[in-house]
Amino acid sequence: MIDTDVLISFLLMANEVLTSATVIVAVSMLLYNLAHGPNDRVARASSALLGSVSLAYLGDVLVAITRSPDLIESWLRFGWIGVALAPAALFHLSSALLETTGLQSRGRRRRVVRLLYLIGCAFAAAAGLTDLLIHSPILRPLPLMQPGPLFGVYFIYSVVSTVFAFNNVLRARRRCLTRATHRRMTYLLFALITPVVGIFPYSLLFPLPVQENLLAVLLLTNAGNFAIVFMLAFMAYPLAFFGPSKSDRVIKAELLSFMLRGPVTGIAVLIVVMFTPRLSGIGIPGAALMPFLSVAVVLGLQWSFTVIIPFLERKLIYTADQDQARMIQELGAHVLTEADARQLLEATLAAVCDYMRVPSAFAATVGPDGVHLELTVGPLAPRGEDLNTPEFLALVAQARNGENGNGNGDNHAGALRDAGAFTPSNSNGAPTQAHVSIAPWGSYWIVPLKGTRGGASAGRLAGVMGIWARSPEPDLQPEEEIVFRVLYTRVARVLDDMRLQTELFSRLEDIIQESDAVRAADTSVRYGNASELARLAEAASVVDQPDFVDVVRAALRDYWGGPGLTDERLAKLTVVRQLLADNENQEAKAIRAIINQALERIKPGGNRSMTAAEWVLYNIIDLRFIQGKKVRDTARQLAMSEADLYRKQRVAIAQLATEIAALERRALESQQPPAPGSPARTVQPGEALTPTPGAGR
């Protein structure tokens, strides 16, 4: 037979855990909303609801750990801030959901939202400063407040707000077009009212519990608190799809990882902290064990999540397109960035120098605009200008003319022999089967590098490798040639990979831009707001035009004044119109401000460097257009050739145009269309941070 006192003690501890867990889940969801959709009306309204829940349950937590009767009353009144504001936040969220489906308020719902927040603030003030709403706390058997003369008014305010909020969500559900959005709105229909229903102070409606029925009260309280924790976590799923312009697959994966690594981990640590000290009663040093057990729980859970998250994603998220999803996930691990490729190239060139016992080596790519020095190793490297001299370009041209050979690796051998190349031979005097073509050039031996991938680039000249000449003529021995061939083939493969990665990232950039443009209007389409889709499509058309990069280039060229800076296509951008008031209503100044904002997004972190690769794009825009320096001076300051500067300048301008387009799309997503005949909506003070309350006060 279970002892009643032991069971009551256990239920009291469970109530503390569930109350604290509610705070953890609510605050976690609040932080998730603020991080993923701060500009979305639904995210802001749900943050208000979650904030109310957090305040209400935080008051309960503080009551549970407080021993002073005066402080207990203070914390009970503090929790009523969340209780008082929860109905207004709930109606605010329901109104935002209804607007998402295209049913814009003509001013009435917005006025009602503001009125409800004002009423809620009045109730919060009455609860905290007077005895009109609550008064005279009863500390035993449970700390509770008694109802005041205005409690009936609050009850009516809460019920009416909840009923109308439920009706708004029901109307929004009817307007959803797809099965997925209809299903998610159904989830919200019931999960949304759970916080307000759960935190309502039912104890003020019924006689206070006595010691004899305390067990039943605790059982009901724990069941209600558990249901609230579950429904809060459940409510996070449909709400996560509002705000971020990402695919459902990405949103589900992010939410799953966040819930496991955030609230679940936090609740597990909370249980350890609360229950481990109680082990001291059975002879285990709980207080001393608690820090180590907490760390062990965190590490164990993180390891477990790393193992089980891929399995959960396959079962819960990537159910229909697992192969494609796996390829997308693995893309980041296999694709080489420019820094990755340079590390491989540097390591290979260093291996060449070490094996050949020479101090320096370099690798350069060959393109339509000339030869570009990619990387050098050692102190005796040539300058970029040296690789664009007539003598060197003639050598490259001879190598390129040999591309129509037999494709076995010596297509250009004849041309290079005419230039003084050396073809090693075996001990019998016959040329080796896998010979290496080398041409002397000044203090270097030059080796042409062929494309190693299939397709049109296979066998074509991709670049050249130069190694410091250890003798006037190439003198590779047959055994050296085998190793050297492996090394320079690896250099050729890295250069070929760099070319492919550049093409890949260029295509990925286009895909990302197109996907963002589609997803920016995706929410409007799915929730039946076709007029919003038309508005977004019309407004976004400027940045989606093929010549938008040319428009940005013209604006940079006329950065300090000229027709390019005042192009009407730039002036029509939403992000420009938003900044007119801060720039004396002058379009030129507003466009210049947008360019500066986009340039800051390109700017790397840390101290500025004129030679570091990550600073190249920012430096080119800043020196050439913001500071207005000449091409020759800019190239000299950045330690590159003028041809290389022009090539990277095109990349920098394209990147700047991409950032401006991203700013424009963000402005479009955050912009709320005004209702017909009503002024533009403004966010009310506290609206983005006001949340919803907890369980029985």
DSSP 242: S
The CA–CA distances, whole Å, from 367 to 295, 340, 361 equal: 56, 21, 20
C-alpha angle 652/658/663, rounded to 5°? 130
- Find the helix packing angle between 4-36 and 248-259, rounded to 10°: 140
Look at residue 686 in the predicted model and tell me its pLDDT: 33
How many other CB atoms are found less than 10 A from the CB of residue 525?
A: 16
Band (pLDDT 50/70/90 cuts) for residue 396 is confident
Lowest mean pLDDT among 230-244, 395-409, 600-614: 395-409
Helix (H, G, I), strand (E, B) or coil at 440: strand
Look at residue 411 in the predicted model and tell me its pLDDT: 36
Residue 103 has pLDDT above 70, yes or no: yes
Q: In this predicted model, what pLDDT tens digit does every residue of 440-498 receive, in sequence order?
A: 888 888 888 877 665 545 567 778 888 888 888 887 888 888 888 888 888 888 888 87
Look at residue 630 in the predicted model and tell me its pLDDT: 83
For residue 367, give the amino acid letter: G
3-state SS of 289-326? HHHHHHHHHHHHHHHHHHHHHHHHHHHHCCCCCHHHHH
Query: Helix H segments across 148-193?
Result: 151-175, 179-191
By C-alpha distance, which of 43, 93, 98, 122 is closest to 193?
93
Residue 268 has pLDDT above 90, yes or no: yes
Look at residue 303 in the predicted model and tell me its pLDDT: 94
Mean pLDDT of 404-409: 40
For the record, the structure tokens of 456 come out as 């049109």
Look at residue 401 in the predicted model and tell me its pLDDT: 64
CA dihedral 625, 627, 633, 639 (to 10 degrees): -80
Q: Are 301 and 264 in contact (CB under 8 A)?
A: yes
Helix (H, G, I), strand (E, B) or coil at 200: coil
**CA 543 to chain centroid:** 22
Q: 475 or 429: whose pLDDT is higher?
A: 475
Question: Percent of the chain at pLDDT above 90?
Answer: 16
The CA–CA distances, whole Å, from 614 to 108, 230, 553, 619 equal: 52, 46, 21, 10
- Kindly tell me the sign of the dihedral angle through the C-alpha atoms of 676, 40, 682, 235: positive
Helix (H, G, I), strand (E, B) or coil at 447: strand
- The residues, ordered by sequence, that sit 6+ positions from 86 with a Cβ below 8 Å of its Cβ are 49, 52, 53, 56, 120, 158, 195, 196, 199, 691, 692, 693
Band (pLDDT 50/70/90 cuts) for residue 536 is low
Q: 394 or 345: whose pLDDT is higher?
A: 345
DSSP 626: I
Look at residue 454 in the predicted model and tell me its pLDDT: 54
Mean pLDDT of 677-686: 37
By C-alpha distance, which of 276, 218, 207, 241 is closest to 33?
241
How many other CB atoms are found less than 10 A from the CB of residue 451?
A: 21
End-to-end CA distance of the chain: 32
Mean pLDDT of 580-584: 84
Domains of the chain: 4-242 (1.20.1070.10), 246-333 (no CATH), 338-502 (3.30.450.40), 520-670 (no CATH)
C-alpha to C-alpha distance for 76 and 67, rounded to whole angstroms: 13
Q: In this predicted model, what pLDDT tens digit does every residue of 41-77 receive, in sequence order?
A: 888 888 899 899 889 888 888 888 887 877 888 999 9
Which residue bears the tokens 């399995």?
A: 311
Look at residue 334 in the predicted model and tell me its pLDDT: 65
By C-alpha distance, which of 495, 490, 496, 412 is closest to 454?
496
Residue 681 has pLDDT above 70, yes or no: no
Q: Which of 234-238, 329-333, 435-439, 685-689 has the highest mean pLDDT?
A: 234-238
Helix (H, G, I), strand (E, B) or coil at 366: strand
Band (pLDDT 50/70/90 cuts) for residue 404 is very low
For residue 147, give the amino acid letter: P
Q: Are 491 and 365 in contact (CB under 8 A)?
A: no
Phi, psi of 375 (to 5 degrees): -160, 145
DSSP 265: H
Lowest mean pLDDT among 240-249, 262-271, 648-657: 240-249
Element (H, E) at 676: none
C-alpha to C-alpha distance for 521 and 524, rounded to whole angstroms: 5
